[in-house]
Structure 1
Amino acid sequence: MTPSWRNLVQVFGRIGLLSFGGPAAQISLMLHELVEQRRWLDEKTFLRALSLCMLLPGPEAMQLATYAGWRLRGIPGGLISGGLFVLPGALVIAALVALYVSFGDLPLVQSAFLGIKAAVIVIVVQALHKLGVRALTSGSAWIIAGLAFVSIFLFSIPFPLIVAAAGLWGFVSTSSKAPAASGPDGGRFRIGPVLFWSALWLCPLLWLSLQGPALLADLGWFFAKLAVVTFGGAYAVLAYMTQTVVDQHHWISTGQMIDALGLAETTPGPLILVTQFVAMLAGYLAEGPAMALAAGLVALWATFVPCFLWIFTAAPYLDRIAGRPRPAAALAAITAAVVGVILNLSTWFALHVFFAQTEIARIGPMSFPLPIWSDFEPVAAVLSGVAAVWLLLLRRGMGETLLLSSLAGLACHAL
């Protein structure tokens, strides 16, 4: 069934507005709207498309929405469905940045943010558990996860290298008798769409490098590189993002990075919209509101245009790609490595929320953060405990948990 343009906009606009709760909730919403209720796609096609999106870097739910729109109304339909999935959250993020830079330094607001930061630790631990249950199903997967954690926590090896090494191992360690990749009509893979969408994505960034402000060029190229290695969701790249934007470029502080994630959790759309928050805050701190707006647009372009690139070039070959064992094995190895990376992220968050200061310990080639125990923050620990009970034991929603934790932070301030 081919929907009208009006129905396409209405349905995907609704999906974009209601896409809270992370990829699992977003995928369930699309399954209900597109397969069960309207029967625009059959379940087999939907699940094959989901498998493809899991193999690609970037937010799988947004790419699934893009695929659905492409399947229904071609490339224009894919642009509409993917754009509407991101647009509501992007507008909310812009509003949150404006509120954050206006009121974020007030003591009362800082107390609410302390509750949000404490809840973010629990949310990341929950994501770690969910991914670990799915990914760590063999001894080799546990080894890959452990090596990934050691690599990033003790040796500060960049996340892209960890992803590349894990994916390469999974690919070469799996035999495949599948036929060479070809299109649905038996033709060869066409390079034209890849070149077109790659040029559309990267040429504006190249222009910024030559003519634009240096900050916008640096932000654009960094988030473009991030888009290529975003396997396993936004949590997987947050440690790498923090390493770059906080420690290397000093665009924002550690506390602001954690605030950005907490606020991004409250918006519809993919969590990777945290890149927009970080870019807008960095732009505002550097040169004010105009630069914040420009930085946000650059981050959105660099982060989400490649999602259209992946889908519009890979979607015609869905049946061929989804059944190939080597890409699936590479994804499984990458997912196992991501578990170790997210463990590093949760450790990093806990150290910086529970302790006012940390120090760097160095043993030979290894360097890692250690807490300064005299700077322990008991209020933050208590707030994390409250969030853990609410989210993990009572199984309440993420939005409710963030709201409760922020209110608890305000209560602690009042006391």
Structure 2
Amino acid sequence: MEEKISVERNELHAPDFGEALRFWFVLGWISFGGTTGHITLMHDFLVDRKKWVSNKKFFQALNACMLLPGPEAHQLTIYLGWKLHGLKGGILAGLFFILPSLLIIFGLSLLYVYFGNSTFLVALFSGLKPAVLAIILFATYKVGQKSLQSKWHYLVALMAFLLSYFVGVPMPWIILAVIIGGFGLYFLTSKEINLKSDQGEAEDAEGDYPVNSLEKVPPISIPKIGLQLLIFFLLWLCPFTVLYLFMPDSAFWKELSFLFTKSAYLTIGGSYTVIPYVAGLVTENFLWLTKTQMIDGFALAETTPGPLVIVLTYVGFMAGFNHFDHSYVMASVGLMATAYFTFLPNFALIFVGAPLIERSQKNKAVQYVLSLVTAAVVGVIVNLACYLGQGILFPNGFGLLELDWKALLWVAVSLFLLYGYRIGMLQLILLSLLYGGLLYLLS
């Protein structure tokens, strides 16, 4: 009887699909500030204001997305859209979240290749890129505060940085080693490991939410999972076949398709692990972009709403542009193909993997390993900061005489504004562009 009443209440409070659709659409245009900003906006609207999702369920969903490869903010959007309105809700929420930033980065990429050598644009980037470095350093501080809980977490973060920056070990292998070693460490320790929780574990009583923590997890269906995997494989295979058979230089399109598919499936920890992994390959192995172009693309991506991983579509644009002798058509195809192969896995991982991971929410071993993976992400973010910092602060090589003092000054000012005044990301970007404009006038 109580179960029947609960169902009726959920139906009574079920959110309107049109209203949810409008929220996902608006979110795609206003979600500045990286993953933290995205999650804050979603929590404020879905949990605090509309009460469509319980607080505990929201963070359980976030934890599930953190266990999966790829950008967790986009996956969380798909996950919550799916929990609220099924398959159509998940697909449309995921599409609306990335389309605005995709359109903006496409326009910015066109402007970049057309005006890239102008002194004015170079000056604007000279103000914007130091702010991007400050944003990453501040993100390292914020993530480290919450995730480095013990000596093992500090050790994992340090080893992840050393292996990635100095040895050049690819990110997927580092994460895989952390997962294997984390389970071994958990089962070998004699003391019970207690993890800090930011999700309010004392919140035992759940209100009447359409999506709450008391919902039963649906049973696992092997035939259903097999069918889903087949559908997603066909969705991947069809555009790959078209690019490989009908586009010039099939080897290039094969490398591009496999690179961005692999990066989506093998990089746990979100955008900050995907970007350095891809940046190293496209600038050093494939030679599709110069290091300066990669850093400029990262700065462009920071000016757009949506997930930071959208910078990969800029990489696809520049790869097509450079490889095919400055062809705007091939650059556009490169951007669209990169977007497709980068974001399709997120839908597959949520629709197939999220229901399975829901079953591991209370598993202490899984949660401990997840905490170690998050610690490794701190080391990876430091690696990204060093990669970008070298090009921003020492554009002509290491040495005190080679240091760009104007860039260092703006890094310090940006960190002061971020830490001391909690300035918003969009405001910092606008101030940085003004600083670049001032440098242009002074020069």
**Contact 2:218–2:355 (CA under 8 A) maintained in structure 1:** no
Partner of 2:128: 116
Deviations 1:277-297 (A, max 9, x none): 111122122231111111111
1:307 maps onto 2:346 in alignment? yes
**Contact 2:65–2:354 (CA under 8 A) maintained in structure 1:** no
Superposition TM-score, scaled by structure 2 size = 0.84
Deviation at 1:187, TM superposition (A): 4.5
**Contact 2:275–2:309 (CA under 8 A) maintained in structure 1:** no
Partner of 1:382: 409
Partner of 2:424: 397
Partner of 2:172: 160
Letter of the 1:307 partner, please give it: N
Superposition TM-score, scaled by structure 1 size = 0.89
Alignment of 1:34-53 (within 5 A): 34-53=46-65
Partner of 2:191: none
1:214 maps onto 2:251 in alignment? yes
**How many Å separate the matches in 1 of 2:433 and 2:220?**
56
**Contact 2:275–2:312 (CA under 8 A) maintained in structure 1:** no
1:345 maps onto 2:404 in alignment? no
Flag as ranges the 4+ runs of structure 1 deviating above 6 A: none
Partner of 1:193: 228
Letter of the 1:55 partner, please give it: L
Deviation at 1:86, TM superposition (A): 0.8
Does the C-alpha gap of structure 1 residues 35 and 125 become closer, same or farther in structure 2, counting only changes over 3 Å? Answer: same
Q: Structure 1 vs Structure 2: percent identity of aligned residues?
A: 35
Letter of the 1:309 partner, please give it: A
**Contact 2:70–2:274 (CA under 8 A) maintained in structure 1:** no
Deviation at 1:81, TM superposition (A): 0.7
Partner of 1:234: 271
**Contact 2:32–2:425 (CA under 8 A) maintained in structure 1:** no
**How many Å separate the matches in 2 of 1:413 and 1:260?**
20
Letter of the 2:292 partner, please give it: G
Deviation at 1:51, TM superposition (A): 1.7
**Contact 1:198–1:309 (CA under 8 A) maintained in structure 2:** no
Does the C-alpha gap of structure 1 residues 115 and 187 become closer, same or farther in structure 2, counting only changes over 3 Å? Answer: closer
Partner of 2:210: none
Alignment of 1:78-227 (within 5 A): 78-175=90-187, 184-187=217-220, 189=222, 190-205=225-240, 208-209=243-244, 211-212=246-247, 213-227=250-264
Deviation at 1:260, TM superposition (A): 0.8
Alignment of 1:19-38 (within 5 A): 19-38=31-50
Secondary structure (helix, strand or coil) at the match of 1:268 reads coil
| Unpaired stretches in structure 1, ≥5 consecutive residues | 177-182, 359-370
Letter of the 1:61 partner, please give it: A
Deviation at 1:188, TM superposition (A): 5.2
Deviation at 1:201, TM superposition (A): 2.9
**How many Å separate the matches in 2 of 1:44 and 1:378?**
47
**Contact 2:261–2:341 (CA under 8 A) maintained in structure 1:** yes
Deviation at 1:7, TM superposition (A): 2.6
Letter of the 1:308 partner, please give it: F
Letter of the 1:208 partner, please give it: L
Letter of the 1:260 partner, please give it: G
Deviations 1:195-221 (A, max 9, x none): 332442355335534554333322221
Secondary structure (helix, strand or coil) at the match of 2:19 reads helix
Secondary structure (helix, strand or coil) at the match of 1:305 reads helix
**Bigger CA drift: 205-214 or 11-20?**
205-214
Deviations 1:134-153 (A, max 9, x none): 22111111111111121122
Deviation at 1:356, TM superposition (A): 2.7
Does the C-alpha gap of structure 1 residues 79 and 185 become closer, same or farther in structure 2, counting only changes over 3 Å? Answer: closer
Deviations 1:288-328 (A, max 9, x none): 11111111111111111111111101333454122223332
**How many Å separate the matches in 2 of 1:234 and 1:372?**
30
Aligned length in residues: 397
**Contact 1:261–1:274 (CA under 8 A) maintained in structure 2:** yes
Does the C-alpha gap of structure 1 residues 187 and 295 become closer, same or farther in structure 2, counting only changes over 3 Å? Answer: closer
1:328 maps onto 2:367 in alignment? yes
Letter of the 1:388 partner, please give it: L
Letter of the 1:94 partner, please give it: F
Deviations 1:373-394 (A, max 9, x none): 4322222222222222222322
Partner of 2:86: 74
**How many Å separate the matches in 2 of 1:28 and 1:356?**
35
**How many Å separate the matches in 2 of 1:157 and 1:319?**
31
**How many Å separate the matches in 2 of 1:187 and 1:231?**
24
**Bigger CA drift: 118-127 or 216-225?**
216-225
**Contact 2:274–2:309 (CA under 8 A) maintained in structure 1:** no
**How many Å separate the matches in 2 of 1:311 and 1:83?**
14
Letter of the 1:31 partner, please give it: H
TM-align CA RMSD: 2.1
> Which of these residues, 250, 253, 257, is aligned with residue 290 of structure 2?
253
| Unpaired stretches in structure 2, ≥5 consecutive residues | 1-12, 189-215
